Chains A and B, each alone.
Chain A
Amino acid sequence: MPATQTYRRLYVWEMPVRLYHWLNALAITVLGVTGYLIGRPFTVGYAQEASFQYWFGTVRFLHFMAGYVFLFNMLVRTYWGFVGNRFASWDKFIPLNRQAWRDIVEVLRIDILQTRGTGPIHIGHNRLAGLIYFVTFFIFMFQGLTGFALYGPMSHSVFGNLAAWVVPLMGSEAVVRQWHHAMLWFYVLFTLVHVYLVFYHDYVEGRGTTSSMVGGWKFEREDRLDD
């Protein structure tokens, strides 16, 4: 390993991808916090009459608003998966060939057994991350559908009506609410592991993984770039 390495700066995450990422992070944080509060409201000052305060209504409003941001943000990102650069492309999320699965095993070795990577380095998402995000999109969809199904009856929203079939499918609103609430914890777990792994990879690889979501650039050793 020579001491002086030439690193190339690669523009990986385009603006819409980064914007999606941070809007999504913000929306999920708001949704998570307000959602938890809706499930478990805490006691605020009881000195005032009901007509002078509206805090729970505000919490719910924020939840619904963040839900809309989340939905449209997701739709834009889906679109970008077809028109964006190769790192943003939809096929980075689905392991369609054997090489992709081999890469996943390799990443698991690096992440869990902490071996040093030998195979080709991933510039965009690594294949495992891509797959996890793909699963995450389904959870996003589930949360969106159950959320709007619960929201529908209290609004005239088209989106609520579009999800109206979810309630009879799952049995009753109680069941929908149960799973909508339970999936909050998926986000908690996801965020925990996601943030940690970003730091981990940056920590041991030093390729600017963390800052790449801010500026869009990643750094890669010239000798490891084969395309």
Chain B
Amino acid sequence: MPRAGNSLWEVMREKGYSRRDFMQFCTFAATAAGLGTSASAAVAKAFEKKDRPPVLWLHFQECTCCSESFIRASHPMVADVLLDAISLDYDETLQAAAGHQAEKCKADVMKAYAGKYILLVEGSVPTKENGVFCMIGGRTAEDILKEAAAGAAAIVAWGNCASYGCVQAAKPNPTGATAIQKLVNKPVINVPGCPPIADVMVAIVTHILMFGRMPELDSQGRPKEFYSRRVHDTCYRRPYYDAGLFVEAFDDDNARKGYCLYKMGCRGPLTYNACAVVKWNGGTSYPIQSGHGCLGCSENGFWDNGPFYRHLPAFPGFGIESTADTVGLTLGAAAAVGVAAHAVSTNIRKRKLIHDQVVEAVKDTPDSKEVE
């Protein structure tokens, strides 16, 4: 249970942080949430006064890479403090409690803070075979999710699994893995990515904490502050794209020169994420900067749009090596053959037409010799 009446400032003071540290944190939090330093006063006020809302973090069909990413938020203070600050009351991988104790803790929070707690969900939920593919404490993931979602003030879907279903939902989706937004009747903040960027995750939680409401979302439920631009539009290799300078093979000279990875299957032009801006591991790098194309891991169904190292995806129903071009070219060739065959038979027919006409002409002319 969260310690009632404990604001973030109080928690920090208990831990020995100075007022200066706290203000620094508030400034950073405001910046991380895309607000600018001028908003840091409002942030400080919120963190001073507001009770830390309890947070439940549910894990379903996932690989925990979202959690792994989250705990690596680049500013250590953010990660430390937020883990304390948000009063994380249930998280299978991070909590100390286990078994019945853990479940009781969750039940208590849902009861005492009905309509106030924040629900973070990692992983998709299987719906086939009554959801037996993911059971926790004898209950199905769907059951657990719906119960927890009912009293949640905000629901955040971490990663591509919770947002779209990710690899579990890739064809043929044997377990019926389903995105969170399709199962709950509340607006869900989708934070796609495999995993999402740590600082983005922290910033979104910060936003909810600070303002007590959801960040502005796009049509797919993604926070606009981080998902409104394509990786391609913010990529430092973009000029090479416009210039038509492409890497042709991963070991060629163009790759060494850092040309655009478009032809190597880079999904940057189709992918909405902040990788090229926020970057990973404390702003160190991101895939394209490391010479590898974007896989489009924050996009719906990205596993089904492979192969990853080719610009054109495989054409559905025609095998992994086929592209729309192979299929089209085959059809085009077939049509050309058909047309050629038709032309041959037309010419045979035309001979007859001309012949008939000549014969008729001969027949009609008074003096047949003139025609010949």
Q: How far is the CA of A188 from the CA of B302 in the complex (A)?
A: 29
- Shortest CB distance B325–A (Å): 7
- Shortest CB distance A6–B (Å): 15
Cβ–Cβ contact B301 & A174, under 8 A: yes
Q: Which of A54, A165, A177, A188 contacts B270 (CB 8 A)?
A: A177
| A182 neighbours in B (Cβ, 8 Å) | 315, 324, 327-328
Q: A3-B361, A3-B365, A192-B339 given as contacts; is B239 within 8 A of A168 (CB)?
A: no
Q: How far is the CA of A189 from the CA of B337 in the complex (A)?
A: 12
Cβ–Cβ contact A114 & B346, under 8 A: yes
Q: Give the contact stretch, choosing among A44-52, A86-94, A133-141.
A: A44-52
Contact of B2 with A by CB under 8 A:
no
| Mask: chain A, 164-207; 1 = CB below 8 Å from B; 0 = not | 11001001111101100110110011001100100010011000
Interface size of A as a range: 35 or more
- Shortest CB distance B331–A (Å): 6
| Mask: chain A, 1-38; 1 = CB below 8 Å from B; 0 = not | 11110000000000000000000000000000000000
47-64 of chain A: CB within 8 A of chain B = 48, 50-57, 59
Contact of B305 with A by CB under 8 A:
yes
| A188 neighbours in B (Cβ, 8 Å) | 328, 332
Dominant SS among interface residues on chain B: helix
Cβ–Cβ contact A171 & B300, under 8 A: yes
Q: A1-B356, A57-B242, A196-B343 given as contacts; is B324 within 8 A of A175 (CB)?
A: no
Interface size of B as a range: 35 or more
Cβ–Cβ contact B245 & A50, under 8 A: yes
Contact of B287 with A by CB under 8 A:
no
B340 nearest CB neighbor, chain A only: A196
Q: How far is the CA of A2 from the CA of B324 in the complex (A)?
A: 52
Contact of B72 with A by CB under 8 A:
no
Cβ–Cβ contact B332 & A185, under 8 A: yes
Q: Which of A52, A153, A175, A200 contacts B301 (CB 8 A)?
A: A175
Cβ–Cβ contact B331 & A51, under 8 A: no
Q: How far is the CA of A53 from the CA of B260 in the complex (A)?
A: 14
- Shortest CB distance A56–B (Å): 3
Q: A53-B243, A172-B302 given as contacts; is B339 within 8 A of A204 (CB)?
A: no
Contact of A119 with B by CB under 8 A:
no
Q: A3-B364, A154-B233 given as contacts; is B336 within 8 A of A192 (CB)?
A: yes
188-246 of chain B: CB within 8 A of chain A = 219-220, 230, 233, 239-246
Contact of B57 with A by CB under 8 A:
no
| B239 neighbours in A (Cβ, 8 Å) | 50-51
242-288 of chain B: CB within 8 A of chain A = 242-246, 248, 254, 262-263, 267, 270, 272
Contact of A43 with B by CB under 8 A:
yes
Q: How far is the CA of A53 from the CA of B246 in the complex (A)?
A: 13
Cβ–Cβ contact B220 & A56, under 8 A: no
| A174 neighbours in B (Cβ, 8 Å) | 267, 270, 296, 299, 301-302, 305, 313
- Shortest CB distance B261–A (Å): 12
Q: Which of B219, B299, B353 contacts A173 (CB 8 A)?
A: B299
| A173 neighbours in B (Cβ, 8 Å) | 270, 299
Q: A56-B243, A192-B336 given as contacts; is B324 within 8 A of A181 (CB)?
A: yes
Q: How far is the CA of A12 from the CA of B311 in the complex (A)?
A: 46
Contact of B342 with A by CB under 8 A:
yes
Q: How far is the CA of A204 from the CA of B47 in the complex (A)?
A: 85
| B300 neighbours in A (Cβ, 8 Å) | 171-172
Contact of A41 with B by CB under 8 A:
yes
Cβ–Cβ contact A40 & B312, under 8 A: yes
**Can you spell out 14 A-B residue pairs with CB atoms less than 8 angstroms apart?**
A3-B361, A4-B364, A46-B245, A50-B243, A55-B244, A56-B241, A153-B230, A154-B233, A168-B219, A184-B328, A193-B339, A196-B339, A196-B342, A200-B346
| Leading 10 A-B pairs by shortest Cβ distance | A185-B328, A56-B244, A182-B324, A57-B242, A174-B305, A50-B243, A173-B270, A172-B300, A3-B364, A55-B244
Known A57-B243, A172-B270; 12 more pairs at CB < 8 Å: A3-B357, A4-B364, A46-B245, A48-B243, A53-B245, A172-B302, A178-B324, A184-B324, A185-B327, A189-B332, A192-B339, A200-B342
